Protein backbone atom coordinates (compact mmCIF):
# COMPACT_ATOMS: atom_id res chain seq x y z
CA UNK A 1 0.00 0.00 0.00
CA UNK A 2 1.29 3.43 -0.88
CA UNK A 3 1.03 5.62 2.20
CA UNK A 4 2.07 9.10 3.25
CA UNK A 5 4.12 9.55 6.41
CA UNK A 6 2.68 12.95 7.27
CA UNK A 7 -0.54 14.96 7.08
CA UNK A 8 -0.36 17.67 4.45
CA UNK A 9 -3.44 19.84 3.82
CA UNK A 10 -4.89 17.30 1.39
CA UNK A 11 -4.53 14.46 3.89
CA UNK A 12 -6.06 16.56 6.68
CA UNK A 13 -8.95 17.35 4.35
CA UNK A 14 -9.34 13.61 3.60
CA UNK A 15 -9.34 12.85 7.34
CA UNK A 16 -12.14 15.31 8.02
CA UNK A 17 -14.21 14.33 4.98
CA UNK A 18 -13.78 10.61 5.72
CA UNK A 19 -14.89 11.21 9.31
CA UNK A 20 -17.92 13.12 8.02
CA UNK A 21 -18.75 10.18 5.75
CA UNK A 22 -18.42 7.65 8.58
CA UNK A 23 -20.59 9.80 10.85
CA UNK A 24 -23.26 10.04 8.13
CA UNK A 25 -23.14 6.27 7.55
CA UNK A 26 -23.36 5.60 11.31
CA UNK A 27 -25.81 8.35 12.18
CA UNK A 28 -28.61 5.94 13.13
CA UNK A 29 -26.28 3.72 15.17
CA UNK A 30 -24.99 6.74 17.12
CA UNK A 31 -28.53 7.92 17.74
CA UNK A 32 -29.68 4.47 18.89
CA UNK A 33 -26.78 4.28 21.33
CA UNK A 34 -27.66 7.74 22.65
CA UNK A 35 -31.33 6.79 22.95
CA UNK A 36 -30.35 4.03 25.41
CA UNK A 37 -28.34 6.24 27.79
CA UNK A 38 -28.94 9.82 26.64
CA UNK A 39 -31.38 11.88 24.61
CA UNK A 40 -31.08 10.24 21.19
CA UNK A 41 -29.34 13.13 19.45
CA UNK A 42 -25.67 12.16 19.14
CA UNK A 43 -26.01 10.94 15.54
CA UNK A 44 -27.96 14.02 14.51
CA UNK A 45 -25.61 16.34 16.39
CA UNK A 46 -22.44 14.93 14.85
CA UNK A 47 -23.94 14.62 11.37
CA UNK A 48 -25.18 18.21 11.40
CA UNK A 49 -21.79 19.41 12.60
CA UNK A 50 -19.71 17.41 10.14
CA UNK A 51 -21.94 18.37 7.20
CA UNK A 52 -21.37 22.02 8.14
CA UNK A 53 -17.62 21.36 8.40
CA UNK A 54 -17.49 19.80 4.93
CA UNK A 55 -19.59 22.64 3.51
CA UNK A 56 -17.16 25.15 5.02
CA UNK A 57 -14.14 23.27 3.62
CA UNK A 58 -15.81 23.02 0.22
CA UNK A 59 -16.27 26.80 0.31
CA UNK A 60 -12.75 27.97 0.99
CA UNK A 61 -10.37 25.33 2.22
CA UNK A 62 -7.94 27.14 4.50
CA UNK A 63 -4.24 26.68 3.76
CA UNK A 64 -2.05 25.25 6.49
CA UNK A 65 -2.75 22.70 9.20
CA UNK A 66 -3.56 25.21 11.94
CA UNK A 67 -6.05 27.19 9.85
CA UNK A 68 -7.78 24.05 8.59
CA UNK A 69 -8.09 22.45 12.03
CA UNK A 70 -9.24 25.76 13.51
CA UNK A 71 -12.01 26.06 10.95
CA UNK A 72 -13.17 22.53 11.78
CA UNK A 73 -13.23 23.30 15.51
CA UNK A 74 -15.00 26.63 15.15
CA UNK A 75 -17.64 25.12 12.87
CA UNK A 76 -18.33 22.28 15.31
CA UNK A 77 -18.59 24.63 18.27
CA UNK A 78 -21.07 26.81 16.42
CA UNK A 79 -23.23 24.08 14.83
CA UNK A 80 -23.36 21.22 17.35
CA UNK A 81 -25.42 21.66 20.47
CA UNK A 82 -25.06 19.42 23.47
CA UNK A 83 -21.94 18.11 25.11
CA UNK A 84 -20.27 16.80 21.98
CA UNK A 85 -20.07 20.14 20.10
CA UNK A 86 -17.83 21.94 22.60
CA UNK A 87 -15.86 18.72 23.26
CA UNK A 88 -15.10 17.91 19.61
CA UNK A 89 -14.72 21.62 18.87
CA UNK A 90 -12.16 22.04 21.64
CA UNK A 91 -10.36 18.91 20.45
CA UNK A 92 -9.79 20.43 16.98
CA UNK A 93 -9.07 23.95 18.26
CA UNK A 94 -6.37 22.64 20.62
CA UNK A 95 -4.98 20.50 17.81
CA UNK A 96 -4.81 23.64 15.66
CA UNK A 97 -2.89 25.59 18.27
CA UNK A 98 -0.44 22.72 18.83
CA UNK A 99 0.03 22.25 15.07
CA UNK A 100 1.17 25.83 14.53
CA UNK A 101 1.91 27.43 11.18
CA UNK A 102 3.18 24.42 9.25
CA UNK A 103 2.38 22.97 5.84
CA UNK A 104 2.32 19.40 7.03
CA UNK A 105 2.27 17.39 10.25
CA UNK A 106 4.75 14.52 10.45
CA UNK A 107 4.31 11.69 12.98
CA UNK A 108 5.68 13.50 16.04
CA UNK A 109 3.84 16.72 15.14
CA UNK A 110 0.56 14.86 14.58
CA UNK A 111 1.01 13.00 17.88
CA UNK A 112 1.73 16.27 19.67
CA UNK A 113 -1.42 17.81 18.21
CA UNK A 114 -3.49 14.77 19.21
CA UNK A 115 -2.16 14.99 22.77
CA UNK A 116 -3.18 18.63 22.86
CA UNK A 117 -6.64 17.73 21.54
CA UNK A 118 -7.07 15.09 24.23
CA UNK A 119 -5.95 17.57 26.89
CA UNK A 120 -8.55 20.00 25.57
CA UNK A 121 -11.30 17.39 25.93
CA UNK A 122 -10.19 16.77 29.51
CA UNK A 123 -9.92 20.49 30.30
CA UNK A 124 -13.48 21.02 29.10
CA UNK A 125 -15.23 17.85 30.24
CA UNK A 126 -13.12 16.75 33.22
CA UNK A 127 -13.53 13.11 32.20
CA UNK A 128 -11.22 10.48 33.59
CA UNK A 129 -10.54 6.94 32.45
CA UNK A 130 -13.54 4.71 33.13
CA UNK A 131 -16.14 7.51 33.22
CA UNK A 132 -17.77 6.06 30.05
CA UNK A 133 -17.11 8.95 27.66
CA UNK A 134 -15.26 9.70 24.43
CA UNK A 135 -12.12 9.93 26.61
CA UNK A 136 -12.20 6.12 26.95
CA UNK A 137 -11.69 5.72 23.19
CA UNK A 138 -9.44 8.74 22.60
CA UNK A 139 -6.92 8.29 25.42
CA UNK A 140 -6.01 4.66 24.56
CA UNK A 141 -5.72 5.68 20.89
CA UNK A 142 -3.21 8.42 21.72
CA UNK A 143 -1.25 6.00 23.94
CA UNK A 144 -1.18 3.35 21.23
CA UNK A 145 0.01 5.91 18.67
CA UNK A 146 2.87 6.92 20.97
CA UNK A 147 3.83 3.32 21.67
CA UNK A 148 3.73 2.30 18.04
CA UNK A 149 5.79 5.28 16.84
CA UNK A 150 8.30 4.77 19.66
CA UNK A 151 8.73 1.22 18.34
CA UNK A 152 9.58 2.66 14.93
CA UNK A 153 6.29 2.22 13.08
CA UNK A 154 5.46 4.65 10.27
CA UNK A 155 2.59 7.05 11.00
CA UNK A 156 -0.05 5.14 8.99
CA UNK A 157 0.75 1.91 10.82
CA UNK A 158 0.75 3.72 14.18
CA UNK A 159 -2.69 5.12 13.33
CA UNK A 160 -3.96 1.61 12.60
CA UNK A 161 -2.74 0.58 16.05
CA UNK A 162 -4.48 3.68 17.44
CA UNK A 163 -7.69 2.67 15.65
CA UNK A 164 -7.62 -0.80 17.21
CA UNK A 165 -7.04 0.78 20.62
CA UNK A 166 -9.90 3.25 20.11
CA UNK A 167 -12.23 0.39 19.11
CA UNK A 168 -11.21 -1.65 22.15
CA UNK A 169 -11.71 1.43 24.30
CA UNK A 170 -15.15 1.97 22.76
CA UNK A 171 -16.14 -1.65 23.48
CA UNK A 172 -14.78 -1.35 27.02
CA UNK A 173 -17.33 1.40 27.74
CA UNK A 174 -20.17 -1.17 27.65
CA UNK A 175 -19.80 -2.44 31.24
CA UNK A 176 -18.86 0.99 32.63
CA UNK A 177 -21.07 3.08 34.89
CA UNK A 178 -21.36 6.58 33.43
CA UNK A 179 -19.92 9.33 35.61
CA UNK A 180 -20.03 12.26 33.18
CA UNK A 181 -22.61 13.78 30.87
CA UNK A 182 -26.26 12.90 30.48
CA UNK A 183 -25.68 9.14 30.82
CA UNK A 184 -24.49 9.72 34.40
CA UNK A 185 -28.07 10.67 35.37
CA UNK A 186 -29.00 7.02 34.79
CA UNK A 187 -26.56 5.67 37.38
CA UNK A 188 -26.56 1.85 37.34
CA UNK A 189 -28.91 1.81 34.35
CA UNK A 190 -26.08 3.14 32.18
CA UNK A 191 -24.25 -0.18 32.62
CA UNK A 192 -24.45 -2.53 29.64
CA UNK A 193 -24.61 0.14 26.94
CA UNK A 194 -21.88 1.35 24.59
CA UNK A 195 -21.09 5.04 24.92
CA UNK A 196 -22.14 7.04 21.84
CA UNK A 197 -19.28 9.56 22.09
CA UNK A 198 -16.67 6.80 22.39
CA UNK A 199 -18.27 5.26 19.29
CA UNK A 200 -17.97 8.43 17.20
CA UNK A 201 -14.41 8.93 18.48
CA UNK A 202 -13.42 5.46 17.23
CA UNK A 203 -14.68 6.59 13.80
CA UNK A 204 -12.56 9.76 14.06
CA UNK A 205 -9.40 7.72 14.67
CA UNK A 206 -10.24 5.18 11.96
CA UNK A 207 -10.70 8.03 9.49
CA UNK A 208 -7.23 9.38 10.32
CA UNK A 209 -5.67 6.00 9.53
CA UNK A 210 -7.23 5.83 6.07
CA UNK A 211 -6.47 9.48 5.22
CA UNK A 212 -2.80 8.62 4.66
CA UNK A 213 -3.64 6.27 1.76
CA UNK A 214 -2.46 7.89 -1.42
CA UNK A 215 -5.29 6.11 -3.22
Task: Tell me how far apart the alpha carbons of residues 108 and 113 are, in angstroms, rounded to a whole number.
Answer: 9
Tell me the closest approach of the beta carbon of residue 89 to Mg ion, in angstroms.
16
Q: Which of residues 185-204 bind ligand ADP (CB under 6 A)?
A: 195-198
- The count of C-alpha atoms lying within 13 angstroms of the C-alpha of 191, restricted to the half-sphere facing its C-beta, is 5
Is residue 41 a contact point for ligand ADP (CB under 6 A)? yes
Is residue 103 a contact point for Mg ion (CB under 5 A)? no
CB 26 within 8 A of CB 43: yes
Q: Name the binder of 47 from Mg ion, ligand ADP, none, CB < 5-8 A by kind.
A: none
Q: Which of residues 111-170 bind ligand ADP (CB under 6 A)?
A: 121, 125-127, 133-135
Task: Tell me how far apart the alpha carbons of residues 120 and 88 are, in angstroms, rounded to a whole number.
Answer: 9
Q: Draw the binding track, 72-101, toward ligand ADP (x: CB under 6 A; -: no contact).
A: ----------xxx--x--------------
Return the CA Rg of the chain: 16
Residue 214's region, left for phi above 0, alpha for psi from -120 to 50, else beta, is alpha
Of 39 and 128, nearer to Mg ion (C-beta) is: 39
Tell me the closest approach of the beta carbon of residue 67 to ligand ADP, in angstroms.
26
Give the binding-site size for Mg ion (rule: CB under 5 A). Answer: 5
Tell me the closest approach of the beta carbon of residue 154 to Mg ion, in angstroms.
37
Is residue 28 a contact point for ligand ADP (CB under 6 A)? no
Of 13 and 125, nearer to Mg ion (C-beta) is: 125
Tell me the closest approach of the beta carbon of residue 174 to Mg ion, in angstroms.
18
Q: Name the binder of 172 from Mg ion, ligand ADP, none, CB < 5-8 A by kind.
A: none
Q: Which of residues 23-82 bind Mg ion (CB under 5 A)?
A: 34, 38-39, 41-42
Positions that interact with Mg ion (CB under 5 A):
34, 38-39, 41-42
Amino acid sequence: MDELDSFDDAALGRWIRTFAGLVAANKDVLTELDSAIGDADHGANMDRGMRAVVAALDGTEPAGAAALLKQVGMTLVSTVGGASGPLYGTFFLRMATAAGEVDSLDGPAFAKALHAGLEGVVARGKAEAGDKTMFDALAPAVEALDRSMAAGAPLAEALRAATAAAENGRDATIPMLARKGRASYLGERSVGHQDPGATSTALLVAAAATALDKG
